[in-house]
Structure 1
Amino acid sequence: MGATALIVVDMLNPYDHEDVDLLVKSAERVVPPLARLVRQAHDRDDIDLIYVNDNHGDFTASRDEITDRAREGERPDLVEPLLPPADCPFLPKVRHSAFFGTSLEYLLHHREVETIILTGQVTEQCVLYTALDAYVRHYSIMIPQDCVAHIHPDLADAALRMMERNMRAVITASEGCLDEDCLS
């Protein structure tokens, strides 16, 4: 079994955009299990914890600026539990996929990652496109469905089915997904 990375996509969000009310309802349910999963991954030496977050059009924004903007946004209660630890990689992204315009592929290759666990938001957008880009790069994909937030439940369900069927993603729950038998 190769190395595993837990990737947190776009959870540092100021929650001040179109469709935010729909997203917030889902994010409220996702934050507690995702925060637990992040803590578990961070406490382990055999799991890489990587944050990839939208720069919201600010191409000069640093990790601290993106984090501060999210903390000062409309829902700091959804951001605070998921603040990235200082010792984990943080990659700003510019579009939907966590691979597009970032060094994620290089980082995963350098750390000999074979399996990625995708979490974050939005299931039917950024998580889906990241999963597709991971699949075409031959990564094994796992998605704890209680750790991905959506805007439209029906599209999120369809996206999860597509990832499972077309990208061979393992759709699971966060509880136990870092156990060795689940990762093998």
Structure 2
Amino acid sequence: MTLVETIDSDKTAVIIVDMLNDFVRPNGALPVPGAENLIPNQQRILEKAREEGLFVVYIADHHMPDDEEFDVWGAHAVEGTKGAQVIDEIAPKENEKVIPKRRYSGFFGTDLDLTLREHDIEQVIIFGVLTDICVNYTSAGATARGYEAIVVSDAVSSNDEEDHRFALKHMQKVHDTEVVTTEELLAAMS
């Protein structure tokens, strides 16, 4: 039996990674090619997840103005800016949590693990950007902490297709993450 066949709405969370204006919008600080094209699949997943009562949490890159990471990537997702906000199309609802992060993994230096455990979560469905960086590190963080992880391949994106494909294979082989399409996920959630 695959993980996607065992989705229990009481034990499963959706983690949306870095779907922020600075990464999604063409005029953002670090636009990810094709990120806007992910929105329809992400909206469908969120609609179904909310309908089924899954816990929804957003992980949002969130940096101080002098963050060391800017030496590598340049300034992006600076605290208090529009660029650091989740895009309107999949904005969090009032009861959904946004957890700021300063590094690639949603688990490093955040209360994501504690938040998931407080809600008795055992399985996570992950989507967002970048497949090979923050999605990958968040997947690794999840499985290293004992969560079953599912990544939605057509709801994540990278700066190039080769990095995207490599990261999906890497997550499957190394993190034991299940990789599914939006259609496969939605069928399992019905």
Query: TM-score surpassing 0.5?
Result: yes
Q: What TM-score, normalized by structure 1, do the two folds share? A: 0.81
* Contact 2:125/2:150, CA 8 A, preserved across alignment: yes
Give the corresponding residue for 1:131.
139
SS in 2 for 1:175: helix
Provide structure 2 residue ranges, at least 5 long, that are not aligned to the other structure.
1-5, 67-78
Measure, in 2, the Cα distance between the counterparts of 1:164 and 1:56. Answer: 30
Q: In the superposition, relative to structure 1, how do residues 58 and 177 fare at CA in structure 2: closer, same or farther (>3 Å)?
A: farther
1:36 aligned to 2:44?
yes
Mapped partners of 1:6, 1:39: distance in 2 = 11
What is the number of equivalent residue pairs in this alignment?
Answer: 165
Letter in 2 for 1:7: I
Alignment correspondent of 1:54:
61
1:6 to 8, 14, 36: 14
Q: For the residues of structure 2 that align with 1:122 and 1:93, how far apart are their CA atoms?
A: 14
> Compared with structure 1, are the counterparts of its residues 71 and 89 closer, same or farther at alpha carbon in structure 2 (3 Å cutoff)?
closer
Alignment of 1:91-110 (within 5 A): 91-110=99-118
SS at 1:145's partner residue?
strand
Identity of aligned residues (%): 28
**Which ranges in structure 1 are unaligned for 5 or more consecutive residues?**
60-64, 73-77
Give the counterpart letter for 1:136 in structure 2: A
Output the TM-score relative to the length of structure 2: 0.78
Distance 1:105 1:58, change over 3 A: farther
Q: Is the 8 A contact 2:56 2:96 kept in 1?
A: yes
C-alpha distance 49-178 of structure 1, shift in aligned 2 (>3 A): farther
CA distance in structure 1 between the partners assigned to 2:177 and 2:22 by the alignment: 29
